[in-house]
Amino acid sequence: MKRGMLTVAIMGLGVLFFLAAIAGAQSAPPIKLGVNDAWDYPGGQGAKRGAEMALKAINGSGGLLGRKMEGIFYDNKVDPNEAKNATERLLYKDKVDAITGFWRSDLAIVCQPLIMEAKKLMLIGGASTPVVTFERIKQDYKTNKYTFTTMVNTYTAMIAYQQGIEEGLKLGLNKIAMVVEKAAWCDPLFDEWMKKYANKIVYSTRFSTTATDFSVEFAQVKAKGADIMVFVTTGRGGTPSVKQWYDMKIPAIYVGYSVDAQDPNFPQVTEKKCLGVVTEKIGGVSGLPITPQSIPYFNEYKKVYGEYPIAYTNGVAYDMVMAWAHGVKLAGSVDPDAVVKAMERKNFNYEGVCGEIEYFDEIHNPVGGGWGKGEPWGWVAYQWGKDGKPVVFWPKKYKDGDMVIPDWVKEMQKK
Amino acid sequence: MEKRAGRIEGPARNERARMVQTVIFFGVIWTALYCLIAFGFSLLFGVAQVLNLTHGMIIMSACYVAFLLVTGLNWSLGFSLIGGVIGSVLLILIIYLGFIKKLLTAPHTSMLLLTAGLANAIQQIVILTVGPQNKFVPTMITGGTTIFSVVLSNQQILSVIVAFGLVVLLVLFFQRTRMGRAIRAVTQDRSTASLSGINAEEMYLVTIMIAGVLAGVAGLLIAPIQTVTPEIGWEMMVTAFTVTILAGLGGPIWGVVVAAAIVAYAEIITAFLIAPTLKEGAAFVIMILTLMFRPQGLFGKGRL
């Protein structure tokens, strides 16, 4: 009898301790994620939504380390001072555990020192400047090791962006016109291509990120006899440039990189003038089954926001936050140094929406899936096909067709 | 082809000729577009002495109304465009009756601050309700036309025809119609006009509505050529302001055409001869020089 009562008492105490542990976990403070981005721009809004989707996914599966995740959002309006003020508020007033956002390279550059000084994780969701990873982590690893990104830097992304040029050269075209926006992120790209294709470039120019009329530039492209026009922009010139390219009947294929051209509705927006235009995108948010996570994410995004993902930033931001959460789970804590160690593991093995991350390399860029070390993780090159659907032609693993010269361009080139 | 001093001149001369033609023709197109943007703003200041910084947002709103009617309600393009113009007229009426009318006798700075604040508010409402992504307004007339080896889109040619057609209509309206003469009388001397039995308030309302129609037409002709985003409102406002300052406040309608041509060609020639990145700065340089050396503008009667 007494033994029986003792057994029940021990079991009861055990249950009580168990319940207390759960209650303790439930009442633990939330893990805070700061989101610092520009919401009035498609790229910035994409990064914000990626973070929102990640927070929803984490909290929907029970939180992180048994704790709820809380997002604290600030709109920096693409202003460096606003971005710095927001960063300082997140660090010292809101006391966040990590900060994500930074679709714009210039803002990532100015905010990084503040975050590194506070020894918090900086999770980059879109900025491609090589300064914050390629340069600063290499130069001063101890200070800058807390920076991670799922958006490869410009030097690496260039490999994807130049696939259109390379395919054009294989098709026998050989006079290149470079029409590239004047922005920090594409300075290295422009300089590199001017050297790489020096003996084939017949015309080159830079334009303002706010430009929407390219009549003079395109007239020059035509006058110089270019048959490959490399057009690079993340500004608003994407859509009008395509319309003008078609309306002015420029006898050159349109390759390069344009954020506007990533819009799933681009054929409708341009009234089908974009057919034949080449751009690149993060495949996992383009309706392509890059990983088993890709399509469910694509559909969930549509359910939540009423439209399919447009800017690539939502995918890289989502995977960046989720990869950090994976690192936190591996570390068993949100302590930045422990998380950095966990995220640097060679068997990190996180399956994201944009691709698998086998590990983060020495400059904290992701490696895995169809992309090796030094390759533009997550990126595919595609051309808008005749039926208004994108035809992926690179990388090989996800290829579903060849890049072609649009019929009307061929006709114009004969004249 | 002729060879001189070891150089082949034929293709180079052809290339230069094509570039000059491009500059001339696109200069005409942008002159027309800038006229469309500036007419409404210039008219409102000329008649009612109102510096309306919401003008750019009214142009923008016509584009968004047309976009929403086409994509959201599946209206036909024609009715959507009419809806866009009606939308811009309604918006300018709300702004005038609800806000501007109360400050008509206040200093210009008060009006500037009021309309600047309203413009920002309208922009934010658009961003919050429709979003920052690019939207589109379908082209009214598709295809292109080649003129002297320069290919122009038919939409651009339509803009030129409409813009210069509006110049003629406005001139005829103000010179040949009773209402136009009444508006001119109010512009010259409101109190004397009132003594003659002209209802000044009614004339202001008519002017406001004409400005709204002009803004709406401007937006709907420009939108298919460019792209529709919340930023275009302020960009159009800078253009309207620059052209109006250069033309001169209270000056003739054709003065706006001349000023628009100066701004358009300055931008295109800057892009062609110096650098495309400096193109947008050309308008600011013109505005600064005008305010410094000829504040009354080229054809104006009053000073800002």
**Centroid of chain to Cα A75:** 18
**Closest alpha carbon to A48 in A352, A301, A298, A238:** A301
Q: Taking the CB of residue A10, how many other CB atoms lie within 10 A of it?
A: 10
Backbone angles phi, psi at A390, to 5 degrees: -75, 140
Q: Which of B16, B22, B123, B154 to mutate to test the interface with A (most CBs of A within 10 A)?
A: B22
Task: With beta carbons less than 8 A apart as the criterion, state whether A78 and A13 touch.
Answer: no
**Protein fold of A31-153+290-367:** Rossmann fold (3.40.50)
On the question of a common fold for A31-153+290-367 and A156-280+380-414, the answer reads yes
On chain B, the residues whose CB falls within 8 A of the CB of A235 are none
Tell me the C-alpha distance between A228 and A236, whole Å: 21
Task: Decide if pLDDT at B58 tops 60.
Answer: yes
- Chain A residues within an 8 Å CB radius of B18: 219, 222-223
Alpha carbon distance B14, A326 (integer Å): 63
Grouping H, G, I as helix, E, B as strand and the rest as coil, residue B163 is helix
Task: Give the phi and the psi of residue A378 in degrees, each rounded to 5.
Answer: 90, -15
Query: What tokens appear for B243 in the block?
Result: 């052209």
Both tokens assigned to B267: 């931008």
**Residue at A217: amino acid letter:** E
The CB density around residue B174, as the number of other CB atoms within 10 Å, is 20
Which residue, among B257, B26, B243, has the nearest Cα to A247 in the 3D structure? B26
Q: With an 8 Å Cβ cutoff, are A222 and B18 in contact?
A: yes
Tell me which chain A residue has its CA closest to the CA of residue B129. A40
- Residue B8 has a pLDDT of 42
How many residue contacts between A and B have a Cβ separation below 8 Å? 103
pLDDT tens-digit series, residues B122-174: 999 998 898 877 787 888 888 888 888 888 888 889 989 998 898 889 889 98
Percent of chain B's residues with pLDDT above 70? 95
**How many Å apart are CA B53 and CA A167, to the nearest integer?**
49
What is the distance in angstroms between the Cα of A40 and the nearest Cα belonging to chain B?
A: 5
The 10 Å CB-count burial string (b at 16+, else e) for A358-387 is: bbbbebbbbbbbbbeeebbbbbbbbbbeee
State the pLDDT at residue A19: 58
Contact B138 A271 (CB under 8 A): yes
Nearest to A239 among B23, B132, B227 (CB): B227
pTM (two decimals): 0.79
**Segments making up each domain of chain A, as ranges:** 31-153+290-367, 156-280+380-414
Measured in whole angstroms, the distance separating CA A336 from the mean position of its chain's CA atoms is 23
Q: How far is B148 from chain A (nearest CA, A)?
A: 13
Conformation bin of residue A28: beta by default, left when phi > 0, alpha when psi is -120 to 50? beta
The verdict on a CB contact (< 8 Å) between B132 and A41 is yes
Q: For strand B3-4 and strand B7-8, is the pairing parallel, antiparallel, or unpaired?
A: antiparallel
What's phi and psi for B294, nearest 5 deg? -145, 70
* CATH code that applies to domain A156-280+380-414: 3.40.50.2300
Q: For chain B, which residues make up each domain, given as ranges?
A: 25-135+150-293
Phi, psi of B67 (to 5 degrees): -60, -45
Q: Do B276 and A206 touch (CB under 8 A)?
A: yes
CB contact under 8 A, A42 and B134: yes
Q: In one letter, which amino acid is A248?
A: M
Q: From the CA of A208, how many Å to the nearest CA of chain B?
A: 5
Integer angstrom CA distances of residue A384 from A111, A202, A234, A254, A279: 37, 26, 18, 11, 8
Tokens of A16: 């009580």
Asked if B19's CB is within 8 angstroms of A213's CB, the reply is no
Chain A residue closest in CA terms to B276: A207
Determine the distance in angstroms separating the CA of A47 from the nearest CA of chain B, rounded to an integer.
13
Interface test with A, best of B33, B277, B278, B284 (most A CBs within 10 A): B277
With CB atoms and an 8 Å threshold, state whether B18 touches A223.
yes
Burial B247-275 (b: 16+ CB within 10 A, else e): bbbbbbbebbbbbbbbbbbbbbebbbeee
Sign of the dihedral defined by the CA atoms of residues A11, A12, A18, A21, in that order: negative
Q: For B52, which DSSP code?
A: -
Question: Across the interface, do B15 and A268 touch by the CB < 8 Å criterion?
Answer: no
ipTM associated with this complex: 0.81
Q: Do B22 and A215 touch (CB under 8 A)?
A: yes
Q: In this structure, what DSSP letter does residue B132 have?
A: S
Contacts of B142 in chain A (CB under 8 A): 271
Residue A207 near residue A214, CB atoms below 8 Å? yes
User: Up-side HSE of residue B38: CA atoms within 13 Å toward CB?
Assistant: 33
**CATH dotted code for B25-135+150-293:** 1.10.3470
pLDDT tens by residue, chain A, 415 residues:
567 677 766 776 766 665 555 555 556 899 999 999 888 777 788 889 999 999 999 999 999 999 999 999 999 988 999 999 999 999 999 999 999 988 888 899 999 999 999 999 999 988 888 899 989 999 999 999 999 999 888 888 899 999 999 999 999 999 999 999 998 888 889 999 999 999 999 999 999 888 888 988 998 999 899 999 999 998 888 999 999 999 889 999 999 999 889 888 899 889 899 999 999 988 888 888 889 999 999 999 999 998 888 778 889 999 999 999 999 999 999 999 999 999 999 999 999 999 999 999 999 999 998 898 889 999 999 999 999 999 999 988 889 899 999 999 999 988 7
Residue B65: count of CB within 10 angstroms of its CB: 24
Is the peptide bond preceding residue A395 cis, with omega within 30 degrees of 0?
yes
Query: Would you call B15 helix, strand, or coil by DSSP?
Result: helix
Instruction: Give the pLDDT of residue B3.
Output: 40
DSSP state of B295: T
B279, A247: Cβ pair inside 8 Å?
A: no
What's chain A look like in SS3? CHHHHHHHHHHHHHHHHHHHHHHHHHCCCCEEEEEEECCCCHHHHHHHHHHHHHHHHHHHCCCECCECEEEEEEECCCCHHHHHHHHHHHHHHCCCCEEEECCCHHHHHHHHHHHHHCCCEEEECCCCCCHHHHHHHHHCHHHHCCEEECCCCHHHHHHHHCHHHHHHHHCCCCCEEEEEECCHHHHHHHHHHHHHCHHHEEEEEEECCCCCCCHHHHHHHHHCCCCEEEEEECCCCHHHHHHHHHHCCCCCEEEEEECHHHCCCHHHHCCCCCCCCEEEEEHHHCCCCCCCCHHHHHHHHHHHHCCCCCCCHHHHHHHHHHHHHHHHHHHCCCCHHHHHHHHCCCCCCEECCCCEECEECCCCCEEECCECCCCCCCEEEEEECCCCCEEEEECHHHCCCCCCCCHHHHHHHHC
**In this structure, what token pair is assigned to residue B173?**
């309206």
| 3 state SS for B170-238 | HHHHHHHCHHHHHHHHHHHCHHHHHHCCCCHHHHHHHHHHHHHHHHHHHHHHHCCCCCECCCHHHHHHH
Q: How far apart are CA A210 and CA A228, in angstroms?
A: 23
Rounded distance between C-alpha atoms, residue B90 and residue B72, angstroms: 20
Residue B70, chain A, CB below 8 Å: the answer is: no
Alpha helices in chain B (DSSP H): 10-48, 55-71, 77-98, 108-130, 154-176, 178-188, 190-195, 200-222, 232-247, 253-273, 279-293
Distance CA B282, CA B271 (A): 9
Of A130, A158, A128, A154, the C-alpha closest to A144 is A130
Q: What is the pLDDT of residue B19?
A: 83
Q: What is the pLDDT of residue B6?
A: 43
Q: B275 to chain A: which residues are within 8 Å by CB?
A: 205-206
Q: Cβ contacts (< 8 Å) between A236 and chain B: which residues? A: 134, 227, 229, 231
d(CA A137, nearest CA chain B) in Å = 33
Give the pLDDT confidence score for residue A27 in this predicted structure. Answer: 62
CB A242 within 8 A of CB A249: no
